[in-house]
Amino acid sequence: MTTDHALAVEYRTARAGDREAMEALDGSFHTGTVFEVTRSEAGFALREVPVDPPLHKVFPPAQDDEGDEDDEDEDEDGGEHSRTFVALDAGTLCGFAAVTYAPWNRRLTVEDIEVAPTHRGRGVGRALMELAAGFARERGAAHLWLEVSTVNAPAVHAYRRMGFTLCGLDTALYDGTPAAGEQALFMSRPCG
């Protein structure tokens, strides 16, 4: 019998029938710290600071940029350069990772990765990220890249444990959105 919960979870490429469960997945988080950005002429620095009361962040429902309502019969693999991987525990979706490969710069972008609160800290996110890395290697990607908000300290820590390092900052990415006031951190890691 294995004690590694991630090994008991089934991982596969998403199917069209998984869409509803992915949209319903609770991607919210709680945190007692956030990252504060300090900018200077020489660049920027991050400092983790406590927040009191602790922050509970709930993301708004995803918007379909293309407005396609009739693609229910399509596979969720998104074609040659995109994939969505899902994690199922006893048949119930408990996480997913959606990725897109850009051949021009050999970058695999992690568009979204979410793990249900009950499954966090159990290796599900790491296993999904390794599926993404495998897809990246198949495509010839040099690195994986993602964006995360400065208020999502739990995710920043998880990505660092997965080998990601800070590679950029955008202080205006969320302007005009419900996340206005937060900054976007960009992180990357080699595919190897």
The token pair at 22 is 């992915």
- The HSE-up count of residue 136 (CA atoms within 13 Å, CB side) is 25
* Separation CA 83–CA 36 (nearest Å): 33
Dihedral pair phi/psi, residue 140, rounded to 5°: 85, 20
And the tokens for 164? Answer: 């990601």
Query: Is the pTM value of this prediction over 0.85?
Result: yes
Name which of 85, 84, 132, 131 is nearest 108 in CA terms.
132
Could you tell me the CA-to-CA distances from 14 to 18, 34, 46, 74, 75 in Å, in that order? 6, 32, 36, 11, 7
Q: How far is CA 148 from each of CA 40, 104, 154, 162, 165, rounded to the nearest angstrom?
A: 21, 23, 10, 14, 12
> What is the block-wise mean pLDDT of the chain (192 residues), using blocks of 10 residues?
61 96 96 94 92 93 52 53 97 97 97 96 96 97 97 97 96 95 97 82
What is the structure's pLDDT at 72? Answer: 39
Please check whether residue 93 is in contact with residue 114, taking contact to mean a CB–CB distance below 8 angstroms.
no
What pLDDT sits at residue 74? 40
Determine the pLDDT at residue 64.
Answer: 55
Torsion of CA 174, 178, 166, 171, to 10 degrees: 30
Model pLDDT, residue 67: 43
Which pLDDT score is estimated for 192? 74
Q: How many CB atoms lie within 10 A of CB 179?
A: 18
